[in-house]
Amino acid sequence: MSLIKNLAVTTALTAAMFALAAPAQAQTRIALLVKSLGNGFFEAANAGAQEAAEELGDVEIIYTGPTEPTAEAQIEVINSLIAQQVDAIAISANDPDAVVPALQRAMERGITVISWDSGVAPEGRAMHLNPSSNELIGSTIIRLAADHLPDGGQVAILSATATATNQNIWIEEARKVLPDYPGIDLVTVVYGDDLSDKSYREAQGLIQSYPDLDAIIAPTTVGIVAAAQAVTDAGKIGEINVTGLALPSEMAGHIASGASESFAIWNPIDLGYSATYIAYELATGAATANEGDTIPIGRVGEVTIGENGEAAMSEPFTYDASNIDEFKNIF
């Protein structure tokens, strides 16, 4: 008796769970495989992917990912995507190496594999889409300051550590574009070591040492928040504009107060949109991903495949009072 009851309940439960979803067959099925579900950044990327799918027409987006952000859990999802014979997998990987064997098996079975956001080692994918490039980031952080200084002015850079590779490359690239902005005078570069209190003190030092300072550029999320706080505390809102690279959620308050006119970081919506376009073009054979090839990505423009099969999407997206409320809840 109990056995039959057990059976009935378990089977009913199972059947109920399986009746949940019946996939509609589209011509091109692209899996947007993210690090983990329930993350605003990836939800936004999915919104971009859906937008691209609508533009492309015959595309079904399978937005999926593990609950735990681990490589093992992501491999289980890859296995189920291989079994479903999807046409393409666009992955933001939890581990650049551990997913490679599983993705290689996907490619052996004829599935197009690209990575975006968080990359996969070259042997595990056709190409990797970076949200931006060092050149574009360097020029963007100068442009952000210059946009609000039509008559020119003094700017200072508050970086992370003096040995931080990324920041040093960006500052190098920023210096290269300085001649394009004749009125802009880069007075100094200081280092806050990506520590909130040290960054804050360095920003205070800048405010005192350069009374005519017009802008502080911080290409680090720790530095920009500390600098904005220092400017606020010194009562210099409106005189010194803080800008650089930051997360919308951390900067929303400083945009509202006016300590920062604008800042930049990648746009997850565009990233999901572009990854979908590229996956589609490669899966349908309309494009190839050899070094030097260009692939059109709808409204975002186009990308050119560079070294190691990597490509840069666009310059960082600018956030200001007009769009901060939309993005501060996303990431």
Partner 1 sequence: MNEVPQTPRTIPDRLESPFRSALKSWEALLIVVAVAIFIANSFASPYFLNPWSLSDATFNFTEKAIIALAMAMVIISGEIDLSVASIIALASTAMGFALQFGVDTPTLVAIGLFVGLACGAFNGALVAGFGLPSIVVTIGTMSLFRGISYLVLGDQAFRGYPSDFAWFGQGYVWWVISFELVLFLVLAGLFYVLLHRTNFGRTVFAIGNNPVAAQFSGIRVARIKFMLFLLTGLMSGIAAILLTARLGSTRPSIASGWELEIVTMVVLGGVAILGGSGSIAGVVIAAFIMGLVTFGLGLLNVPGIVMSIFIGLMLITVIALPIVAGKLRQQTSGAK
Here the tokens at position 213 are 């300072």
CA atoms within 13 A on the CB side of 228: 27
Q: Which positions from 83 to 102 touch partner 1 by CB under 8 A, shown as an x/- string?
A: xxx---------xxxx-xx-
Least distance CB 84 / partner 1 (angstroms): 5
* Alpha-carbon distances, residue 135 vs 27, 65, 132, 168 (angstroms): 38, 32, 8, 12
37 interacts with partner 1 by CB under 8 A: yes
The count of other CB atoms within 10 Å of the CB of residue 96 is: 17
Residue from 26, 73, 107, 312 touching partner 1 (CB under 8 A): that is 73
Beta bridge partners of 186: 155
Size of residue set near partner 1 by CB under 8 A: 48
Taking phi over 0 as left and psi of -120 to 50 as alpha, with beta for the rest, 323 belongs to: alpha
**Contact region for partner 1 (CB under 8 A) — 7-15, 136-144, 151-159, 265-273?**
7-15
Nearer to partner 1, 95 or 310 (CB): 95
* Alpha-carbon distances, residue 13 vs 3, 4, 22, 191 (angstroms): 15, 14, 17, 59
Residue from 27, 54, 79, 329 touching partner 1 (CB under 8 A): that is 79
Least distance CB 5 / partner 1 (angstroms): 6
**Contact region for partner 1 (CB under 8 A) — 8-16, 42-50, 207-215, 222-230?**
8-16
Least distance CB 279 / partner 1 (angstroms): 16
Least distance CB 48 / partner 1 (angstroms): 19
Least distance CB 34 / partner 1 (angstroms): 11
- Residue with token string 């560079």: 306
